[in-house]
Structure 1
Amino acid sequence: MSPYRLAFLAVLALAAIVGAYLYGRKEGASVPTPLESAAVTEQPVGGAPGSNLAMVAQASLNFDRGARLPPLGAPLKSVYAQLQAQANAGDGRAAARLLRDLNRCSRQRAIEWSTMRNTHDLTEQKTENLSAAQLRTYQALLDTAAIRQRDVDQGRTLCEGVSDEILDTLNANLAQAARLGDADARACYLSRGPLYDTRGLLKQPGALGVYRQQATRLIQSGLAAGDWRVVDLLQSAYEPGAQSMLAGLVGSDPYQHYRYLKLYRLGAESFRVAQIDRQLAMAGASLSPAQRGEADEWAQTTLRDNFRGDSTAGTPQGWDACAALGG
């Protein structure tokens, strides 16, 4: 095995450890309190799966938003009806848990395949000519592969027997969790909407209309909660020429782009200030002095009333609004 290939495999192994660690943290993470203004529907946004309607409806009779959740790691097939019923009743904890379990299971097959392929490549390597240092690296890679395989096995237990019909509710439950106050789900849904699960969107094209109906309220709740991710998504979406899902909803608006970019700038860490100032200068060039003054005053007031902390801390350049959900 060449030193270059060994180094490449080491990078893959590190990525696998980080991925497994982050998933474990998400499984045990606390869930934000549902928004008091959140709308509660009888069914998940976009509709519940057909053959599961009766099952979920029956479960709805037995659970309310304060009911205990099933144990972490319980097979999703056996607890889906309970979690869906509790989420439909307005339980933000259940909605967040269901979203993450569905998200994991929607990716389980791909995770299994990539893990099997990488493990095969690793175990097929010849080791007789490796140095002592290379052998230690190789052993670390094998240990990492074993950790990754345990993660795959846990996912297999979680996802065994979960039907495509259940997996097709991923977009609907992303919207549900966002509406019930899950800040990670809100950022992801605003950014991608039903494009988060394109296979599900092809089966439920009406989800685009749901996104159009829900996004404005989610923007308002995000701003009220002081979520800097929502501010960054908005300043980007309003920028002329933007092509994101949110940009398609709000439309190009130089004034709004400048306004949200100014708010983002006021909360920025020092090392990002110069770059954002250059963006602000370009954004404000097409505005009148009066417009810039109004936008600056709004940004100052909004910062004082709603926002704390650094705007750039959780939104580094190139950040992915869905990364906290695992994909």
Structure 2
Amino acid sequence: MSIEPSSPAPRPASARRRLLLAAGIAAALAAIVAAYFAGRAGVGAGAARPDSHVRIAGESAAGSDAAAAAGALPTPIKGGVLPAPGAPLKDHFAQLQARANAGDAGAATRLVRDLDRCARLRSTQWRNAGATEDLTRRSTEGMSAAQLRTYQALLEAMELRQQAQRQDQATCAGVDEAMLASLVPNIAQAARLGDEQARACYLERGPLYDARSLIRHPDGLRAYRGTAAALVEAGLAAGDWRVVDLLQQAYEPGSKSLLAGLLGADPLQHYRYLKLYRLGAEAHRADQLDRQLAAVATGLSPAQLAQGDAWAQNTLDAGFQGRSTDGTPPGWEACDF
């Protein structure tokens, strides 16, 4: 038998107000993003970059060349020894930031992970405190042997979470808001230096990963627009299946992601990337993907389908290995640092 979870305590009025405020901010951000990309869409008819897999919605050929030059990725360098794991970030932030800015890929990756841990710490503390209170208030009176074993396992898991939280508190002690506000720019820099997780996160969420910072620094959308295409190209050149999955979702008509706002809906591109993703898929995902492909194919001509199939096979053979679905299960989290 398992223990029935206790009913959550009613949220106080302040919590409800915070939820309403968060919903309002999310709606405002969606409007900002839509207006920004819609405004840019009037610049031109949408030109493909030379030798590019991606198409930026509303970008002229001249703008395409200029953006490609501006978005060129830096060459990563190998830096020195990193601080010990768990070392206080405030003591090493300036050094890590300088090294990341200079192209040190290892420093950029480490800085992103530590900043992300610190950015999540407050919400982690709030969740853990509530879960701990609920668990410790339970009475063991009348529990069966099986229920007691389950309860003991829950207590042990809670202790592990508290240990991890104490480690994060030690790492994040003294980290201020200015440091935390650098999270998204540092994710972008780590992505430019080849960090695959940072690349997937930045392509999917961009400046929306830290909505508070975007409100204060709306130029983050311009930075995203100038960098995303180069990151897509780098991901495809590296055979990164996560980038393929993000692209097939972004090109799907009706997609509301940030990357979709940048690229624009394109059924043919959606088919191409979905076909590429299907070619690398595990057997248990094949039927579902085949049904998706069949649905997309109804809106394309035989010539377009033949071209899409050939492109997908050639792209697969040119540099993709492994199974596309290994690291991209349904609902996978791009920003899981």
Which bracket does the TM-score occupy, shorter chain normalised?
Answer: 0.7 to 0.9
Q: 1:1-327 alignment to 2 at 5 Å?
A: 3-5=3-5, 38-39=73-74, 65-323=78-336, 325=337
Contact 1:65–1:87 under 8 Å retained in 2: no
8 Å CA contact 1:254, 1:283 repeated in 2: yes
Q: Tell me by how many angstroms 1:38 deviates.
A: 2.7
> Conserved in 1, the CA contact under 8 Å of 2:242 and 2:328?
yes
- Distance in 1 (CA, whole Å) between partners of 2:140 and 2:282 is 48
Cα 1:82–1:65 shift into 2, 3 Å: farther
Q: Deviations over 1:236-277 (max 9, x none)?
A: 111111110100000011111111111111111122222212
* 1:135 Cα offset (Å): 2.4
2:328 is aligned with what amino acid? T
CA distance 1:128–1:287, change in 2 (3 Å) = closer
Cα contact 1:40–1:89 (8 A) shared by 2: no
Shift of 1:90: 0.3
Report the Cα offset of residue 215 of structure 1.
0.2
1:212 aligned partner, one-letter code: R
User: Which residue in 1 is equivalent to 2:33?
Assistant: none
What letter matches 1:39 in structure 2?
P
Q: State the 1:303 CA deviation.
A: 0.4
TM-score, structure 2 normalization: 0.77
* Corresponding residue number in structure 1 for 2:31: none
Alpha-carbon distance, 1:138 to partner: 2.1
SS at match of 1:191: helix
In the alignment, residue 153 of structure 1 is paired with which amino acid?
R
* Preserved CA contact (<8 Å) 1:171 1:201: no
Q: Which amino acid aligns with 2:272?
A: R
Equivalent residue letter for 1:173: N
Q: 1:241·1:252 contact (CA, 8 Å) conserved in 2?
A: yes
CA RMSD of aligned residues (A): 2.0
Amino acid at match of 2:271: Y
Q: Report the number of matched residues.
A: 273
Kindly indicate whether the alpha-carbon contact (under 8 Å) linking 2:108 and 2:189 is maintained by their aligned counterparts in 1.
Answer: yes
Amino acid at match of 1:4: E
Cα deviation, residue 65, structure 1: 4.5
Question: Structure 1 length as normaliser, TM-score?
Answer: 0.79
Q: CA offsets, 1:164-218, max 9 Å, x none?
A: 1100001101101101000001011111111111111112111110000000000
- Alpha carbons 2:79, 2:105 under 8 Å: kept: no
Using the alignment, how far apart are the partners of 1:132 and 1:282 within structure 2?
Answer: 52
Paired letter, 1:126: S
Q: Is there any run of 5+ residues in structure 1 with no aligned partner, and where? A: 9-36, 42-63
SS in 2 for 1:3: coil
